[in-house]
Amino acid sequence: MKKIFFSVALVVVSAALFAQEKEEEEEKGFKKENLFTGGSVTLSFFNGSTIIGANPIFGYKLANFVDAGVVVNFISTSQRDYLEFDDKVKQTVYGGGVFTRLYPVNFLFLQGQFEHNFIKLKYTPAPASTSYLPYKETIDVNSFLVGGGYCQGRQTGSNTFYYVAILFDVIKNENSPYVNVAVDPNTGRTSVRAQPLIRAGFNIGLFEGGGRRRR
């Protein structure tokens, strides 16, 4: 965990130092117009399943091609079998992390994101069930998401735009909410595969227009 955290921190710090060297014409120091917020919302209702989620972010533009910030996660998933067993499973994921985005071109970005999430599992059997008992468990897990994305409306001097990204958890811990765990019925061996995580949302620039304009 410490190695991953320091690796992410090193990437962010290195990007900041490189950005300062490349952009000599810009004023040095903190600029509030570089702050941004935003995030994404998830809603799904299908065949007895309900998914509600939100991923707010808060960040700072280190340079025209580097963003960094923090993210908060909340995803609640519930599923009920109305047709046969009438039991219910609920999973709640909450936590946070840090991220950095690098823009090789204005409309494409690469992203690395370290997260530490808590996962609450709750199983509720059918009211008349005598074969199954209620079950609760809370676990925590680290994830390191790596991927890239596309953004539209991103312009120099503005932090407001729409984006869509696809990310993969490269740690692939079997307790991660971003993996698929399968057990071979013949050998009993467990395989863990990273599932593609697709997130779409908005960046919203704060205090835009408050800085000094270039000539």
Q: If we measure between CA atoms, which residue out of 4, 15, 35 comes closest to residue 110?
A: 15
Encode pLDDT of 31-84 as tens digits.
Answer: 999 999 999 987 767 666 777 889 999 999 999 899 999 999 999 988 776 556
C-alpha dist (Å) from residue 214 to 19, 25, 63, 153: 18, 10, 15, 20
Q: Residue 149: give its domain's CATH number.
A: 2.40.160.20
Domain count, the chain: 1
Specify if 120 maps to a domain.
yes
Q: How confident is the model at residue 85 (pLDDT cuts 50, 70, 90)?
A: low
The answer to whether position 212 is within a domain reads no
Domain limits at 63? Answer: 2-14+33-205
211 within a domain of the structure (yes/no): no
Q: Is 20 among the domain residues?
A: no
pLDDT at residue 214 is higher than 80? no
Full DSSP string of 138-203 = EEEEEEEEEEEEEEES--TT---EEEEEEEEESS--TT-TTEEEEE-TTT--EEEEEPPEEEEEEE
Q: For residue 10, is it within any domain?
A: yes
Structural domain includes residue 56: yes
Confidence bin at 11 (pLDDT 50/70/90): low
Identify whether 119 is part of a domain: yes
Q: What digits encode the pLDDT tens for the residues 127-158?
A: 776 777 888 999 999 999 999 999 999 988 78
Average pLDDT over residues 95-109: 96
Report yes or no on 26 lying in a domain: no
